[in-house]
Amino acid sequence: MSIGILSFGGYVPRARLSRQAIVAANAWFNAGLKALGKGERSMANWDEDSVTMAVEAARDCLTGIDRTTLSAIHMASTSFPFQDRQNSGIVAAALDVEGGIQTLDLSSSQRAATSGLAAALRMAAGDGAPILFTAAEKRRTKAASPLEMTTGDGAAAVLVGDGDPVATFLAGHTETVDFVDHYRGQDEAYDYTWEERWVRDEGYMKIVPAAVAAVLAKAGVEPGAVDRFCFPAAARGVAAGLARKMGLREDAVADNLQANLGEAGAAHPLIMLVHALEQATPGEKILVTGFGQGCDALLFETTEALAALPARMGIAGHLARRRAESNYQKFLAFNDLITLERGLRAEVDKQTGLTTLFRNRGMVEGMIGGRCTQCGTLQFPKSNVCVNPNCGAVDSQEDQPFSDVRGRLNSFTADRLTYSPDPPAFYGMIQFDEGGRLMSDFTDVDPDADLRVGMPMRMMFRVKDYDTKRGFRRYFWKATPAENTITEE
Amino acid sequence: MAKGISDKVAILGMGCSKFGERWNDNAEDLMLEAFQEALTDAGIEKDQIDAAWFSTAIEEQHVGKSGVPLAIALRLPYIPVTRVENYCASGSEALRGAVYAVASGAADIALALGVEKLKDTGYGGLPQRSRGSVNDLVWANASAPGSFAQLASAYAAKHGIDRGDLKRAMAHISVKSHDNGAKNPKAHLRNKIDEDKVLNAPMVAEPLGLFDCCGVSDGSACAIVTTPEIARSLGKTDLITVKALQLAVSNGTEAQHNSWDGSYFMTARTAARRAYKEAGIENPREQISMFEVHDCFSITELVTMEDLFISPEGGAVKDVLDGFYDADGKIPCQIDGGLKCFGHPIGASGLRMVYEMYLQMQGRAGERQRADEPVFALTHNLGGFPHQNVCSVAIIGREGA
């Protein structure tokens, strides 16, 4: 038994916005953006936020794992949808693991995930029961800003604990320095940033080496023995420069995914760690760093258990689950960066009764339906009287989770009348393979999708409605075509 | 088995306002317009009415709740007024209340009046609104056209029908209703259209284009009913009586149990079976003279031809394209233009359907009058969504038929 990473998962939103599209729209104003115009960045759908992405990464991480064994769910982000409502608690509800479980949100720095992961590893050493550690980010950026070009949206999750890890935790070290390269004050929507050259020369090049040298010394590992160096900053050439300075091998510098994802803020070190684990073979040393008012450095070594891990989407699978987006205007609309005429139908009040939500949270957040103990019929929602016309038993249903059950399309439409932030609104009847059905919203459907009766569908946790009057949002599950996933049907 | 309603209640008078965009009229104006026509037709005074049923579905857009708006609009003399709502089948509910009151002997003469004022929302189509606080948490973001459009995907898949062929049959339905509506002075839409116009219209909810959808309208319709004996005592002859009034309501089976394939209406089949039995009709394709169905969307009308057991299952496309349901076909459907063109003021629609059948039976349908004399006429009034709805089937006919 040793402390380390027992499992991992990742999530990247399906849409990838071409950076050339951003340049085409904004270079008239800021010609400097042209230098950043290569590749694409991930772009969260209108119904995604850091919580929904964390849920998807967590589900991916928990592939083949009994959720009742979890002792805690931690979530790191600087873009939590709620300032006062535990966001990791929503993740717990979506995973249907409410109850005697610890939840904890970590924020306020780009190294929230690495600092939090270091703490979780220490806690795991004391407790033993696995901690699900998630990180997700959907940074708000101003139109025509360099950050808009270099950032991306995404999430990752690792299960840490004492057991037979896929990667053993060797050592960790944190250097704390109140080096303010950027900040976001209370009530501010966007980051305020300082000159990049100063950040590079006085920040990255001085603080990171101190943290790395310390962690390598703690572990007794030579710099040249590091196989993968995960440094999350988007700035070009910095990771390679650091490697040279610190004596790391040139080939150890990990791809920062700038070409096809972008830098996902506080979640990015964890995304890079998961991506590294996906590619690693047993016996590799992986060094992960997180930079922000200092630097965290964590060193792992992969084990033979890596090969036994069941197949999952991970970062690589989600990168492959890609839809090219060249419409920058859509990005602006999804992120409230323009005032769109949404029409009178968008004016419907979306107030959520908190009593109503609490009473029905299993149905809504956990997608818990019922299974009749008399006739075995699965049904959603769970109800007092069995829906089977040949049964009708009263109070006979036990909890039946539907979120991981595959379904098939029974009927569908693409609706241009109802208000949707991304018309047409796709929805239809999903029939679950083991019984039960739902007239469900669809998400991540291509505008020219060839939907067919009978095609396989799976459920994803998404924002159902935004209550813009009160700053609330409600979540539910939506169906998406199960094709273009690497896991088996 | 209950004996049923057949021949126990006669229609004494009916009225219907002009349907359409009544920008300068309140609901009360429309109600009075329909009522005065019915009162004149019935040949009675207002104070002879013992009780009233008032239907409206989206009352927050016009009159508000309760029976009070009807009593005030008509200055009814403190009689019982019951307000009913059952989605888009609300009008049939008002008729059911009035007919049952007369059949029971609790009232000699009863009024059913429906109204809706939908053109005060600021946009076309039905109002976007809450479905209830719990439903809002999990129901799909579904509009009416998007819900009904799904019939087409399921129907085409079930019967192996090419979606292009289905779309053409749907277009024929809309062209036919526009032809009929053009002859109806009270209709909302009176323009003729051709198939190309339907097929090339902007998409609302795939595969329903603009001309596959009925509009929403302002309007009111009403019926005054009594016993055949009282009708005769008031000098009426050749009575039109109620033969059947049936209603079937989804219990969640379609929405939650995998026994329904999404291509038809479980409620319509149930209500139709019961209505034919109540009216003593054994072969509807031979015995029904004409009918009005709830053609909120072209695809709804198409599948309903089968749900009412007039077209064989899978055979509606052929019957529609053969002109079987055209105004000069074997059994005309929507001879007044239907919801599609007469219009759809929700609370009034069920009563409007009966109004046209009543006019046709009396030879009073003007330019659109059928030459052959109708014996049995059916109305089908649906509310909700294919996967969760209420469906009313009413049959009226000649007394003793």
Q: Are residues B172 and B92 in the same domain?
A: no
Q: How many CB atoms lie within 10 A of CB A196?
A: 13
Whether residue A147 lies within 8 A of chain B, CB to CB, comes out as no
| Cβ pair A151, A191 in contact under 8 A | no
Q: How many CB atoms lie within 10 A of CB A89?
A: 19
Q: To the nearest whole number, what is the mean pLDDT of chain A?
A: 96
Q: Are residues B348 and B246 in the same domain?
A: yes
Q: Are residues B229 and B302 in the same domain?
A: no
| Cβ pair A113, A263 in contact under 8 A | no
> What SS3 state is found at A424?
coil
CB spacing of A381 vs B138 below 8 angstroms: yes
C-alpha A135/C-alpha A63 separation (Å) is 17
List of long-range contacts for B264-268, beta carbons under 8 Å, 24+ apart: B264/B151, B264/B155, B264/B303, B264/B306, B264/B307, B265/B303, B265/B304, B265/B307, B265/B382, B265/B386, B265/B389, B265/B391, B267/B382, B267/B389, B267/B390, B267/B391, B268/B304, B268/B307, B268/B308, B268/B380, B268/B382, B268/B391, B268/B393
Structural domain count, chain B: 2
Mean pLDDT throughout A156-184? 97
Residue B170 lies in a domain: yes
CATH code at A2-334: 3.40.47.10
Which residue in A228, A223, A231, A230 sits closest to A203, CA to CA? A231
Task: Say whether B213 is catalytic.
Answer: no
Mean pLDDT of successive 10-residue stretches along chain B, which has 401 residues: 90 98 98 98 98 97 97 98 98 98 98 97 89 96 97 96 94 98 98 97 96 96 98 97 98 96 98 98 98 98 98 97 97 98 98 98 96 95 98 97 90
- Tell me which amino acid residue B32 is: L
**Cα B295 vs. chain centroid, distance in angstroms?**
8
Q: Is pLDDT above 50 for A297?
A: yes
Which pLDDT value is given to residue A128?
Answer: 67
> Each residue of A211-248: pLDDT tens digit?
999 999 999 999 999 999 999 999 999 999 999 999 99
C-alpha A215/C-alpha A171 separation (Å) is 6
Q: Are residues B299 and B157 in the same domain?
A: yes
Please provide the size of chain A in residues.
489
Which residue in B369, B38, B25 sits closest to B226, CA to CA? B38
Task: Say whether B344 is catalytic.
Answer: yes
C-alpha A174/C-alpha A79 separation (Å) is 23
Which pLDDT value is given to residue B340?
Answer: 98
**Domain interval for residue B204:** 143-214+239-398
> What SS3 state is found at A343?
coil
Which pLDDT value is given to residue B128?
Answer: 86
Residue with tokens 């840490």: A160
A residues 167-186 near B, CB within 8 Å? Answer: none
**Cα A281 vs. chain centroid, distance in angstroms?**
24
CB spacing of A417 vs B121 below 8 angstroms: no
C-alpha A18/C-alpha A183 separation (Å) is 27
| Cβ pair A170, A299 in contact under 8 A | yes
Q: Are residues B194 and B249 in the same domain?
A: yes
> Each residue of B160-169: pLDDT tens digit?
999 899 999 9
Show me where the domains of chain A are located: 2-334, 409-489
Q: Are residues B228 and B262 in the same domain?
A: no
Q: Which 8-state DSSP code applies to residue A253?
A: B
Q: Are residues B189 and B48 in the same domain?
A: no
| CATH code assigned at B99 | 3.40.47.10
B residues 235-274 near A, CB within 8 Å? Answer: 252-253, 255-259, 261-263
Listed in sequence order, the residues at least 6 apart from A57 whose beta carbon sits closer than 8 Å to its beta carbon are: A9, A10, A11, A134, A136, A155, A156, A157
Q: Are residues B255 and B282 in the same domain?
A: yes
> Each residue of A332-390: pLDDT tens digit?
999 999 999 999 999 999 999 999 999 999 999 999 999 999 999 999 999 999 999 99
Which pLDDT value is given to residue A488?
Answer: 39
Q: Is pLDDT above 90 for A487?
A: no
Q: How far is A411 from chain B (nearest CA, A)?
A: 5
- Check B344, B380, B387, B391 and give the catalytic one: B344
Q: Are residues B199 and B317 in the same domain?
A: yes
Which pLDDT value is given to residue B22?
Answer: 97
C-alpha A125/C-alpha A365 separation (Å) is 31
Of B149, B150, B257, the CB nearest to A389: B257
Domain boundary among B198, B233, B268: B233
